[in-house]
Amino acid sequence: MPSTLTRKTALLGSALALASAGALAPAGAAPASADAPAASAVRGKCGGNVPANPVRWSYGKGSCALLGRPGAWHGFRWTATDGYAALQIMTYNTRGQAYWVKCGSGGGVCQVPIGNHAFTPRFRGWDALRFAHIWISY
């Protein structure tokens, strides 16, 4: 039988993992603050989020798939907790090879060519100075 300290450590580790995945809040819960920077980004039905840190790229995946057609483009609205946070979105060229589209830093709208492909968008975020968080809707 595990000790109380071992169980508490395991429980704390599980809670931290769930919190970082965003799974601790109830499904219909309102944002913690009406002024939260994510409020404008989470209006769409589909989205994702990425922690951004100054050490290396952090990766995330969208909640819905996209279905393209020849010449199709798709818009991604995003906000960040820091103006230095940068976002890139993975898409595919006409030969089916994946590449990253640079969306800039601080937030905004990023138009990405999706072409005649069906895929779930992948995101990566990075911040030059400090830890930040990026929210994406599409």
For residue 43, is it within any domain? Answer: no
| pLDDT tens sequence across 2-61 | 554 444 444 444 444 434 444 434 444 444 433 444 444 445 689 999 999 999 999 999
- Residues 104-123, mean pLDDT to the nearest whole number: 96
* Sheet containing 47-52, strands listed edge to edge, beginning at the edge strand earlier in sequence: 47-52, 132-137, 73-80, 107-113
Give, rounded to a whole angstrom, the gap between the first and last alpha carbons of the chain: 48
For residue 83, is it within any domain? Answer: yes
CA distance 84 to 105: 6
CB proximity list for 26: less than 8 A, separation 6 or greater = none
**CA distances, 41 to each of 88, 89, 137 (Å):** 16, 15, 5
Domain count, the chain: 1
Instruction: Output the pLDDT for position 43.
Output: 54
Q: Residue 78 forms beta bridges with which residues? A: 108, 136
Q: Tell me which amino acid residue 80 is.
A: A
Instruction: Output the pLDDT for position 17.
Output: 43
**Among 94-98, 101-105, 109-113, where is mean pLDDT lowest?**
94-98
Instruction: Output the pLDDT for position 44.
Output: 60
For residue 41, is it within any domain? Answer: no
| pLDDT tens sequence across 47-90 | 999 999 999 999 999 999 999 999 999 999 999 999 999 999 99
Instruction: Output the pLDDT for position 25.
Output: 41
CA 78 from centroid of its chain's CA atoms: 9
Is the pTM here over 0.85, yes or no?
no
For residue 101, is it within any domain? Answer: yes
For residue 123, is it within any domain? Answer: yes
Print the domain residue range for 112.
56-137
